[in-house]
């Protein structure tokens, strides 16, 4: 019942399907969600600090700043951590971020992140997040609207997302695909 209610919310009130659409539940487009920025990301060679500017790093177009591709949702319950950089350890926290990106960005702290222990990167990991100007630039780039859901409705959306897990995936047979719908190179 929760999964069905979550499905109805996903395609209705929660408006998830405006970006998570199509066969892969991804529009394959880039969106700015105000995800907290940390880690080296794909820093451009001329940037004075380590920062991940998203699609702009490849396109060099200002309108692409802090935008990241909508991920496909199949097996999403098995793909923690969440966000392009591992900003959230669990799926519910990621769903809640989508509901109010600005409030989530302001409330986020480094203990939410899931990072491997790499001592030589540790000092630089949160430079961009601590930089006031960089935070202002990122927070000016959200392109999704605030949505109000009850705690029960959030639980139902997460239940629906859990239902997107394939039976073979549960057994640990994800494997590496030969190609991906975006056409990007698949590292082997």
- Using a pLDDT cut of 90, give the percent of the chain over it: 51
Q: What is the residue extent of each domain of the chain?
A: 2-166
Which secondary structure element, helix H or strand E, spans residue 130, and what is its range? helix 127-130
Q: 2-166: what CATH class?
A: mainly alpha
Is the pLDDT confidence value at 50 over 90? no
Is the pLDDT confidence value at 127 over 90? no
Mean pLDDT of 144-173: 89
* Token duo for residue 157: 């959306």
Mean pLDDT of 125-134: 85
Average pLDDT taken over every residue of the chain: 88
Where do we find the tokens 């769903």?
95
Q: What is the pLDDT of residue 126?
A: 84
Q: pTM of the prediction?
A: 0.84
């Amino acid at each position: 019942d929760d999964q069905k209610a979550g499905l109805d919310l996903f395609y209705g009130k929660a408006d998830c399907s405006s970006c998570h659409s199509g066969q892969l539940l991804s529009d394959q487009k880039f969106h700015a969600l105000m995800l907290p920025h940390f880690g080296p990301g794909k820093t451009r060679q001329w940037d004075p600090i380590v920062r991940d500017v998203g699609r702009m790093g490849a396109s060099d177009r200002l309108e692409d700043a802090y935008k990241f591709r909508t991920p496909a949702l199949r097996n999403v319950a098995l793909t923690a951590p969440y966000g392009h950089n591992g900003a959230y350890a669990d799926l519910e926290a990621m769903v809640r971020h989508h509901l109010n990106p600005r409030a989530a960005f302001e409330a986020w702290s480094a203990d939410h992140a899931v990072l491997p222990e790499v001592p030589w990167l540790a000092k630089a990991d949160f430079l961009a997040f601590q930089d006031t100007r960089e935070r202002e630039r990122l927070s000016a780039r959200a392109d999704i609207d605030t949505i109000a859901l009850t705690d029960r409705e959030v639980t139902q959306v997460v239940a629906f997302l859990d239902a997107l897990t394939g039976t073979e995936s549960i057994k640990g047979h994800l494997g590496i695909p030969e190609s991906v719908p975006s056409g990007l190179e698949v590292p082997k």
